[in-house]
């Protein structure tokens, strides 16, 4: 991963072949003390795991895709969970013949590159487990 801070609120990030998107962005948040940010990116993956949440089972049903897929859109947030950086990302992918896939990104391995913009905000958002839903949500009543 290479990155550069371009002003007080923005980083540009380039990921290389074989790097894992989630792990790389969480590492950036840890190193740069990012407590809340939005991310946007494009590029290509060679392997990705998508998740679709099933409320009745309180679990993600995963789909793995292999082979080069264009990242049409990578979006999400970097925030905090139990004092540590936490990434929540969604991805839209394109393949040959116009085939598309998308959903919650459980993991993604770069196949060519990724170019990502990280927009930081002057606040801290913390996630808290919501047992009725079975996943971590922003705790908007807690102030940093």
Rounded mean pLDDT of 104-110?
97
Average pLDDT value for residue range 76-102: 95
Nearest to 117 by CA among 39, 26, 34, 28: 39
Residues 82 and 61: beta-carbon distance below 8 Å: no
Residues facing 51 on adjacent strands: 62, 104
Q: What is the pLDDT of residues 20-47, one digit of tens each?
A: 999 999 999 999 999 999 999 999 999 9
Q: What are the structural domains, with CATH classification, of the chain?
A: 2-138 (3.30.1330.80)
Q: Which residues contact 67 (CB under 8 A, 6 or more apart)?
A: 46, 95
- What would the two tokens of residue 19 be? 């790097």
Which of 19-28, 33-42, 86-95, 122-131 is least confident? Answer: 122-131
Q: What's residue 144's pLDDT?
A: 57
């Amino acid at each position: 991963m290479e990155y550069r801070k371009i002003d007080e609120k923005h980083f540009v990030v380039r990921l290389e072949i074989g790097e894992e998107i989630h792990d790389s962005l969480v590492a950036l948040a840890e190193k740069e003390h990012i407590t809340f940010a939005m991310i946007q990116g494009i590029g290509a993956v060679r392997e990705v795991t998508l998740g679709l949440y099933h409320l009745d089972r309180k679990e993600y049903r995963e789909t793995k895709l292999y082979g080069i897929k264009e990242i049409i859109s990578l979006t999400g947030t970097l925030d905090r969970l139990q004092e540590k950086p936490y990434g929540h990302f969604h991805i839209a992918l394109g393949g040959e013949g116009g085939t598309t896939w998308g959903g919650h990104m459980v993991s993604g391995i770069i196949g060519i590159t990724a170019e990502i913009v990280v927009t930081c905000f002057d606040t801290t958002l913390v996630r808290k487990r919501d047992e009725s839903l079975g996943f971590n949500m922003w705790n908007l009543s807690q102030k940093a």
